Amino acid sequence: MMKTKSWLLGLALVLGMTAAWAGVDVNKATQSELESVKGVGPALSGRILTERQKATFKDWSDLIDRVQGVGKTNAARLSEAGLTVGAATYVAPAVVAKAGKPAQK
């Protein structure tokens, strides 16, 4: 009996990790799926769903432009927590140095 419970618990953990690793696509997720991402609460998921009804998100910059509360810093955190846009993770834009000034890190 104990071995069966251990086996089932192990299977549940593997399936849960697989789901988390797969990510939550902002264009396909339900409100509860969005809220399963650390950093996404009811208010943010509501704003995402409202904007998604108008049109799907093309990429991360589209999401950042259209959804209040999702800036570059927050996008990086949400992506790290498993949120994706069309299966893509957020990649911060490269900092370009101005002439005569070193690039900021």
Domain ranges of the chain: 22-93
- The pLDDT value recorded for residue 97 is 67
- The pLDDT value recorded for residue 35 is 97
Closest among 87, 83, 70, 81 to 34, alpha carbons compared: 83
Secondary structure (3-state) at 69: coil
- The pLDDT value recorded for residue 21 is 53
Question: What is the C-alpha separation between 20 and 92, in angstroms, rounded?
Answer: 22
Residue 66, token pair as written in the block? 């259209």
- The pLDDT value recorded for residue 105 is 59
- The pLDDT value recorded for residue 94 is 82
Closest among 39, 47, 44 to 79, alpha carbons compared: 39
Task: Give the chain's residues under pLDDT 70.
Answer: 1-22, 96-97, 99-105
Question: What is the C-alpha separation between 53 and 48, in angstroms, rounded?
Answer: 9
Question: What is the C-alpha separation between 93 and 68, in angstroms, rounded?
Answer: 19
CATH code of domain 22-93: 1.10.150.320
- The pLDDT value recorded for residue 93 is 84
Give the DSSP letter of residue 101.
S
- The pLDDT value recorded for residue 24 is 97
